[in-house]
Chain A
Amino acid sequence: MSQITRKMRVPLDAMTVLALSDVTKRFGPTVALDGVNLELRRGEVHALIGENGAGKSTLMNILAGSIRADRGQMNVDGQVYSPTSPLAARERGIALIHQELSLAPHLTVAENILMGLEPARWGWINREAARRRSLEVLESFHHPEIRPDRRVADLSIAAQQVVEICRAIAARANIILMDEPTSSLQRDDVAHLFALIHRLRGDGISIIYISHFLEEVREIADSYTVLRDGQSVSTGALSAVTNQELIVQMVGRPVENLFPSRERSAGDQLLLEVRDLSAPPYLRHASFDLHAGEILGVAGLMGSGRTEMVRAIFGLDQAHSGTFRLRSKAIAARGASPTLRLLQGLGYLSEDRKGEGLALALSIADNTTMTRFASCSRWGWLDRAEQRKQTEAWIRQLGVKARNPIQRAGTLSGGNQQKIALARLLHQKADVLLLDEPTRGIDIGSKARIYDVIANCAGEKKAVLMVSSYLPELFGMCDRIAVMSRGKLTPARAVKDWTPETVMLAAIGGQELSAEARE
């Protein structure tokens, strides 16, 4: 009977390299995956879309052999697949490219590419073969600076991502799982990555591609599967579906407009005045005004000095020179510390949520109230009931998906973690908000919520400085935009005076800077 079914299925599924049916995974009481079905064909780029917390990463980890499914069946090339370790997954030709880079910074490019597959005889490494093999793989990328003998720590983030992809290719994977591979890439590198994906597809390699950017998904993927709350809710060809429909399937409700409409303010009180701020080598010059009720956007490439500017303002990095005026009172730019800035009413949201944004091992309550324990303590003694009560209010207000306030922040999804980071700023009652990439790597539902919160802050006459790499967000949210390019900030201009093209041009510095770089 079963033999007959298999025979009948062969012609139909000849192209199917990976088939999942009813894959389920629980972590204690939480259901991470609740019956996922997915079919991947040979030479296809299949987009896996869904909000953060929908279960995409869990699914990837099951496929890559890091965790095991509780229930359900997986087939690779028609044979049962249930990997017990990453090694087993690798041997079946499945490679995962992580969202966070997973390279060994101290080792060379060649050693990273061939990690786990070192060419060797009797345990002795054949360096020449390793060099040749990695060069073979590297050849297809236009990155001459990535030499096999270079230390990975000395490469740029984009180059490191290339190394990571080369590793998957070197393993001769025929199914590559890419978890938000463009999240740390610049435009040119994204183009290179896409060209490479096209080539891999041509070679018959199948790719599961996870991304939050629908534009990007449309550009690169053939078909899609939407995950919502651990279930695969729809699948099909991308050409047969609109973005609006995809978003509805992702969030389970229509999102008419991501960006809240708000009264653009003008002529309000000047809150923060920054003049000639510099913090070499990354930040060379920045001057701007920030008014109450205003959202000022800062665009620019990664590494252009945007983050360094915000850090210098907040006293995390030392400014070399410059003057500040806060509420028309001069304050020192040099010798500042975050402690002082907090007292002065500044709040800072880090771009690096896991690294310095949140204390992941602590509870939501501790994270939220950390900058103003005074709200729930007396003589240095914490009133834990009061702390919980205040945190619960923020959880409700920001729509955080959490069991309770004493849950560890690290157990939340990215979008919910970001809401907690923002809740801390609100709890702190800061009136100048410095937001660095407030919506990086989070799902659309959480983005919409965070945009609402930011707009509300401006409505309450707080001043918001928002650094972002995502242009639609800057254009949708800001009153004025300034562009950082190679450590210099352009004057801020009203949003209507910019187009995405002029912003990009200012960011890459036009002709003037290319000439300078050539020197």
Chain B
Amino acid sequence: MVAEVKVETTSARPALLNLWLARLGPFIGLILVIAVFALLTESPARYLSPFNLRIVLAQTVIVALGAIGMTLIIVGGGIDLSVGSVIALASVVTALMLRSGYPPTMAVLAGVLVGGLIGLVNGLVITGLRVVPFIATLGMLGIARGVAKWIAGQQTVNVPQTWVNELAVTFPTPWWLLLAPGVWVALLLSVLTAVILRNTVFGRRVFALGSNEAAARACGIPVQRLKLWIYSLAGLYFGLAGVMQMSRLRQGDPTVAAGAELDIIAAVVIGGGSLSGGEGSILGSMIGALIMAFLRNGCQQMGWPNYIQEIIIGGIIVIAVAIDRFRHSRTYT
């Protein structure tokens, strides 16, 4: 009797459709991208070969690591525009440490920690000075890039031959690794973070924060401290991405990864992350990162110039966000 009067209950069908769109959408997108390029290239066999797959995966590592951190931030209702600069700064710091003769482990650690430190500063500015994340991290985009150029003396930093250089190679030295060590690291961290987001109090509180910050606060969740943790943790991932960047180029380059924040944010959004918070998944973001990598790789295989890639990726970002809006209009009417 009660249920009959209730007209407002959303019917199950749109919710289900929504779920399918969110879960399967990225997969379909990935398959679509691969299929399109496989058809376009003159030799689909080469495009789909394990050899090329390895290249794509090695290329994905940086965006993937960034996307893991960015997923945390976006699910928590924030945004971080400083990723590209943080990657450059971390790559320069790692390179400088190596050049100064520190052991590689210390150098890698320093690169990762620099990222975490920048994240902590972002978090402090956002919580302490009450600057909105967009502006706080936009400022950091400039600051981190500037510092990177400064400490690098405005030029690339060459490094001695160490194992750090082998992290993101296409063909790893012990052949049985099959994929670059960086790929395995990214895979491991993505699984770990997915589990943290799903099964820990911290993870669920990140969702609660992004979904309704006022409610989270009213429920006694220390939202400011939570934000500090989110940005710091994400910063560690960005720092690690910077180390991978250095490894790929085999030098620290303060001008590298300009605009990487867009690739990374796009990966998260394509993977089902909502820019208004509360939604997103690591798996989705990883597929998003793969889509970006296959796109770039495909364009290179076709011999298309760089600007074509940029136009295509720009279009993809807009389409992904449009799909995000479409899903929301389905849920909340």
Contact = CB atoms under 8 A, between A and B. Distances in A.
A111 B208 contact: yes
Contacts of A98: 218
B15 A90 contact: no
Interface string B91-107: 00000000000000000
A111 B204 contact: yes
Interface in B200-246: 200-205, 207-208, 210-212, 214-222
B200 A104 contact: no
A115 B10 contact: no
A45 interface: no
A158 B199 contact: no
23 contacts: A86-B218, A86-B220, A102-B214, A103-B212, A104-B207, A104-B211, A104-B215, A104-B216, A107-B207, A107-B211, A107-B278, A111-B207, A112-B215, A115-B208, A123-B200, A124-B201, A151-B15, A156-B9, A156-B10, A158-B8, A167-B219, A186-B5, A513-B4
Nearest to B213: A104
A518 B211 CA distance: 35
Contacts of B9: 145, 155-156, 159
Interface in A328-383: none
A107 B204 contact: yes
Interface of A: 64, 66, 85-87, 90-91, 96, 98, 102-107, 111-112, 115-118, 120, 123-125, 127, 142, 145, 151, 153-159, 167, 186, 188-189, 301-304, 486, 508, 513-514, 517-518
Q: B interface, how many residues as a size bin?
A: 35 or more
Name which of B204, B217, B222 has the most chain A CB atoms within 10 A of its CB.
B204
Contact of B201 (A118, A155, A486): A118
Contacts of B12: 154
Q: B-side binding surface: helix, strand, loop or mixed?
A: helix
B204 A142 contact: no
Contacts, number: 115
A117 B205 CA distance: 10
A157 B8 contact: yes
A103 B213 CA distance: 9
A85 B225 CA distance: 14
B21 to A, nearest CB: 15
Contact of A154 (B15, B211, B222): B15
B76 to A, nearest CB: 12
Contacts of B210: 106
Given A103-B212, A103-B215, A104-B207, A156 B6 contact: yes
Given A98-B218, A105-B211, A153 B331 contact: yes
A87 B2 contact: no
A49 to B, nearest CB: 24
B307 interface: no
Contact of A90 (B8, B212, B214, B220): B220
